[in-house]
Amino acid sequence: MAAPGLLLVLQFFFCHCFRSRTKDTEDAVLAKEPNPMDSTSSIEMKSGSGKIPASPLRVAPSPQRVPPSPLRVPPSPLRVPASPGRFSMSPKLDRIGSVHLTMKQAARATQNFSPSLKLGEGGFGTVYKAQLQDGQTVAIKRASKEHSDTLRSEFRSEIELLAKIEHRNLVKLLGYVDKGNERLIITEYVPNGTLREHLDGVHGTCLDFNQRLEISIDIAHGLTYLHLYAEKQIIHRDVKSSNILLTDRMRAKVANFGFARLGENETGNTHVLTKVKGTVGYLDPEYMRTFKLTPKSDVYSFGILLVEILTGRRPVDSRRSPDEKVTIRWAFGKHNNGETMDLVDPQMTEAVDKKIFKKMLNLAFQCAAPTRADRPDMKAVAERLWAIRVKYLKHGGKE
């Protein structure tokens, strides 16, 4: 992570640009985002910086996808309690889904946690694809044994929060195991990899503009649910492209709730005071400065993510020239200089309408405003993205 002095200098510069020109902004953090599947890029405030590998070339766009989900989804109904005899339960976790496994069953389902079934690896541990006896495919996240005790709070946080949510754009918790030094989280299997992988063309095709717009809406719906419609307000704290999973129909689901926190719902309280956690490049600068966490911190991260979706570039890329290393700063400068269309991901082969693109980019800059008072809330963001979609489709992708 960049030195505090550098952060303050960059933040001052962009506060000035933001207020004097438009309500567009950028992120002033110059640091590391490693391999997209490596959740060790999710850090606490004391973590160091490093280099980011450049994105590989991407190829032709994939077909258009299905219509997005509606904005509001009601809070989840009570779910069937898990059997206490099968895995450890907490009174707060009496709403877990229907997958109840022992460690022996989990090992069998993952072929003894075979590397060939590994989906990803990060700070918490490794995620495996698992085939259950009834034929159901799930994902099992196994905590690293060497970090089992130190990661217990992250484990408990994730299962307690996942147990409270039910939304089509959020990864669903199916069960968990907490026995001895083994900790497993069992979730639905999302088969099509991460958003970052698709931006990199890892799966053989590049996302077209329509897909990027629809995915942005899906993510905004999921975060809106967490902030407004969950049983209790939830702040994700680690919104980034490698934590967005895509289904076989290209639906987006927000994943990895290890850093998530309950928001302040009591009257008069506007924030949660907590140590900084998240991913460098996506971190809200006001949260880093004040340690005050609000849903607007997720909004900031979403703004950075939206620029990433539009440009195909990671938030920070040390292999680029100095004026292009921080993507939000580069994009902000290009936009203000009237070179907006230079920001379009070159891997999108179709023509992109300038007015539609600018509307999405302006929204991204507003979300990434340096102070939270200047950012919209996620509900307003989702509504604006939906309006952009309606206009886009009304004119057949052209305005």
Q: CA–CA separation, 34 vs 43, rounded Å?
A: 11
pLDDT of 373 strictly over 60: yes
Sign of CA dihedral 128, 134, 136, 141: negative
Residues 221 and 337 in one domain: yes
Q: Count the neighbouring beta carbons within 10 Å of the beta carbon of residue 370.
A: 25
| Residue 74 in domain | no
Residues 322 and 200 in one domain: yes
Mean pLDDT rounded to a whole number for the chain: 78
Provide CB contacts within 8 A for 135, sequence distance 6+: none
Residues 151 and 260 in one domain: no
Q: Count the neighbouring beta carbons within 10 Å of the beta carbon of residue 26.
A: 29
- Higher pLDDT, residue 161 or 332: 332
Tokens of 213: 């717009």
CATH assignment of the domain containing 139: 3.30.200.20
End-to-end CA gap in the chain: 41
pLDDT of 53 strictly over 80: no
pLDDT of residue 286: 95
What string of DSSP letters covers 7-47? HHHHHHHHHHHHHHT-S------------TT-GGGEEETT-
Q: How confident is the model at residue 42 (pLDDT cuts 50, 70, 90)?
A: low
| Residue 85 in domain | no
Least confident of 5-19, 53-67, 192-206, 357-371: 53-67
Q: Using alpha carbons, select from 142, 154, 155 the residue that is nearest to residue 103.
A: 142
CATH assignment of the domain containing 314: 1.10.510.10
State the residue range of the domain holding 60: 4-68+192-394
Cβ proximity of 317 and 361 under 8 Å:
no
Tokens of 288: 């880093």
Q: Considering the chain, what percentage of its residues have pLDDT values greater than 70? A: 70
Residues 169 and 113 in one domain: yes
Calculate mean pLDDT across residues 47-65.
37
Give per-residue pLDDT as tens, 346-362: 999 889 999 999 999 99
Q: How confident is the model at residue 161 (pLDDT cuts 50, 70, 90)?
A: confident
Residues 196 and 182 in one domain: no
Instruction: Clarify whether 342 is annotated catalytic.
Output: no
pLDDT of residue 36: 36
| Residue 79 in domain | no
**Residue of 238, 284, 298, 377 with catalytic role:** 238
Q: How confident is the model at residue 229 (pLDDT cuts 50, 70, 90)?
A: very high
pLDDT of residue 34: 39
Radius of gyration of the chain (CA): 20
pLDDT of residue 269: 60
Q: How confident is the model at residue 316 (pLDDT cuts 50, 70, 90)?
A: very high
pLDDT of 273 strictly over 50: yes
Q: How confident is the model at residue 94 (pLDDT cuts 50, 70, 90)?
A: very low
| Residue 73 in domain | no
| Residue 80 in domain | no
Residues 259 and 292 in one domain: yes
Give per-residue pLDDT as tens, 57-91: 333 343 344 344 444 444 433 333 333 333 333 33
Residues 221 and 248 in one domain: yes
Q: How confident is the model at residue 54 (pLDDT cuts 50, 70, 90)?
A: very low
Residues 120 and 19 in one domain: no
Residues 270 and 359 in one domain: yes
Total domains in the fold of the chain = 2
- Name the most confidently modeled range: 52-56, 83-87, 336-340: 336-340
- Give bridge partners of residue 254 from the DSSP assignment: 170, 244
What string of DSSP letters covers 331-353? HHHHHHTT-GGGGS-TT--S---
| Residue 76 in domain | no
pLDDT of residue 274: 81
Give per-residue pLDDT as tens, 98-152: 688 889 999 999 999 999 999 988 667 899 999 999 999 999 999 877 655 666 7
Residues 170 and 266 in one domain: no
Least confident of 87-101, 130-144, 257-271, 383-397: 87-101
What string of DSSP letters covers 111-180? TTT-GGGEEEE-SSEEEEEEE-TTS-EEEEEEE-GGGTTTTHHHHHHHHHHHTT---TTBPPEEEEEEET
Residues 251 and 389 in one domain: yes
Tokens of 281: 């490049």
| Residue 328 in domain | yes
Residues 231 and 200 in one domain: yes
Show which of 188, 220, 239 is a domain's final residue: 188
Show which of 188, 218, 253 is a domain's final residue: 188
Calculate mean pLDDT across residues 24-38.
36
**SS3 call for 325:** coil
pLDDT of residue 289: 94
| Residue 116 in domain | yes
Show which of 188, 208, 225 is a domain's final residue: 188
